[in-house]
Amino acid sequence: MDMDGDWLLPRPNTLFKVNHRPAGSSLSQSSSIASTFSSLATPVVAEAVQRARALSTTSDVEGFHQLRVAFRKLRALYWAYSPYLGEEATAHATEEFKRLAAVAGGTRDWDIAGALLSAAQASGASVEPLVAAAREKRAQAVAHSQTMIQGDAVEAFLNDALLHAQTALQSRCNDLPIRAFARKRVRLAQRALQKRSRRAARGEATHEEDLHDVRKAGKKLRYLLEFFQPVIKGGHGRTIKTLTAVQNKLGQFNDIAASETLIRSASFSEVPPEVVQQSLQWLEEQKCRRMRAASRRVRAMS
């Protein structure tokens, strides 16, 4: 895991309060760019803090997943507002969001790998020693996540980062209306998705990296549509539904590909090499099948 992007965490402060308002609940077309950032970021921050605190006492599967999702949403939001936040501030914040998401994702990744190995075992593959080893790896990932993600530190970092962002936005775009800005950022995200989808659909063979790029671009666009729906024209419910369906197919493929990489890179001292190899062979077969399904979805979308 890349720790170079670590951003020193300040002491907890109360300068930027979080609450549990639904995202976008106070948005309107007359809102300013600066005020909408606060409205959109605050509930996501509240969820991230709540999830981080809960993980100190529990290893809930969904909790780790939703914490990672919250950090991904914040990365998308910072990208949207980056023209006024500035490159340096955006880079600092998003690198730390990425690092924290990766730490939370370690447990989630072993949950997925363990479930896939159990499916392999149910299909007749003799991988029981690896299933047990994956459970141990998952326990190690939980301990690492709980050590690296402290609720107070996460809250302090998010409060500080958002306070600096809000201060910058108020000084640069406090009176600028949100609607045109939101539509422009959504259009840019749409173009990025279209470009990556066309690249993935080009030629007969689809590369894993291209599908991964489509998946990331699709997530960014979906998050932005969910954030900005109250202020941009046109119903985007169908687009969000389509993106979600494509993301599901891409996610199924990514689960297999990520699990294969995870198992290849891990050390299993008490698991016979032939067991590891059998599991990798099963994963490879499943990956090819899911990759074809994901490619068909992307080609249809492009």
pLDDT tens digits, 7-51: 333 333 333 343 444 444 457 777 899 999 999 999 999 999 999
Structural domain contains residue 23: no
Phi, psi values for residue 177, rounded to 5°: -70, 150
Q: How far is CA 254 from the centre of its chain?
A: 13
* 3-class secondary structure per residue, 46-88: HHHHHHHHHCCCCCCHHHHHHHHHHHHHHHHHHHHHHHHHCHH
Give the whole-number percent of the chain exceeding pLDDT 90: 68
Structural domain contains residue 27: no
pLDDT of residue 279: 94
pLDDT of residue 101: 94
Q: How far is CA 79 from the centre of its chain?
A: 13
Neighbours of 233 (CB within 10 A): 8
pLDDT of residue 301: 81
Q: How far apart are CA 114 and CA 259, in angstroms?
A: 9
Cα angle, residue 81 at apex, residues 164 and 68 outer, rounded to 5°: 80
- Residue 278 tokens, joined: 């059998």
- Looking at the structure of the chain, the number of domains it has is 1
pLDDT of residue 3: 29
Inter-residue contact 68 to 106 (CB < 8 Å): no
Helix spans in 86-205 (H) = 87-122, 128-148, 151-173, 178-201
Query: Which single residue is written with the structure tokens 């991230």?
Result: 48
Query: Which single residue is written with the structure tokens 């690296």?
Result: 148
Structural domain contains residue 213: yes
**pTM score, whole prediction:** 0.86
pLDDT of residue 67: 94
Q: Taking Cα atoms as reference points, which of 98, 103, 99 lies closest to residue 147?
A: 103
Which residue numbers in the chain have pLDDT < 50?
Answer: 1-25
pLDDT of residue 250: 93
pLDDT tens column, 95-128 = 999 999 999 999 999 999 999 999 999 988 889 9
Q: How far apart are CA 302 and CA 106, in angstroms?
A: 32
Residue 152 DSSP class = H
pLDDT of residue 205: 66
Inter-residue contact 126 to 275 (CB < 8 Å): yes
Domain membership of residue 295 as a residue range: 33-301
pLDDT of residue 10: 32
Q: What is the CATH number of the domain that holds 98?
A: 1.40.20.10
Structural domain contains residue 17: no
Structural domain contains residue 135: yes
pLDDT of residue 2: 33
Q: How far apart are CA 69 and CA 235, in angstroms?
A: 24
Q: Taking Cα atoms as reference points, which of 84, 252, 224, 291 lies closest to residue 168?
A: 84
- Cβ contacts of residue 168 below 8 Å, gap of 6+? 84, 85, 86, 89
Q: How far apart are CA 286 and CA 266, in angstroms?
A: 20
Burial class (CB in 10 A: 0-12, 13-18, 19+), 27: buried
pLDDT of residue 15: 35
Q: Which residues does residue 225 pair with via DSSP β-bridges, in sequence order?
A: none
Inter-residue contact 289 to 127 (CB < 8 Å): no
CA distances from 12 to 131, 147, 167, 168 (A): 41, 18, 18, 20
